[in-house]
Structure formats: C-alpha cells, structure tokens
Amino acid sequence: MTQPIWTPCIKVCFVDPAQNICVGCFRTMEELGRWTRMSDAEREAVRPRLDARRAAYEAGQKV
C-alpha cells in the first residue's frame, strides 16, 4: 500500500493571476502542475516557502 502524498491543499482553489499563485495553498502554477510528479524531497523543499508566500501576499507584497 502506498502512502498518500503530502499536500498543502485546503480545497480552496483560487489563482491570483497577477501573482500566479493559488491563494488557498500558496503554491505556484508550476508547483501545482508538477506536484504529483515531484519527489518527497522536492515537496518538502516547497513547504517552508508557503508560509513566506502567504505572509507576503497578505502584506500586499509581490510574491
């Protein structure tokens, strides 16, 4: 039996076209497109970036 893939998805999908990110999970469009093909290490490398993107987005800064 395979383990499920970790995902930051909260099932609130809205892409901000100006920022090119999902404002539900804060993944980039490139990350969203590759997510299931990424290795566990690649997904784990993205994890710390998500909080920083959220903070920047909420502060009105370019992500």
Asked if residue 33 belongs to a domain, the reply is yes
Instruction: Return the SS3 of 16.
Output: strand
Q: Taking the CB of residue 25, how many other CB atoms lie within 10 A of it?
A: 20
Q: CA 31 to CA 36: how far, in whole Å?
A: 9
Asked if residue 4 belongs to a domain, the reply is no
Residue 33 domain boundaries: 15-58
Asked if residue 36 belongs to a domain, the reply is yes
pLDDT digits 0-9 by tens, 8-48: 999 999 999 999 999 999 999 999 999 999 999 999 999 99
Instruction: Specify the pTM.
Output: 0.87
Instruction: Give me the number of domains the chain comprises.
Output: 1
**CA separation, residue 10 to residues 1, 3, 13, 26, 62 (Å):** 24, 19, 8, 10, 22
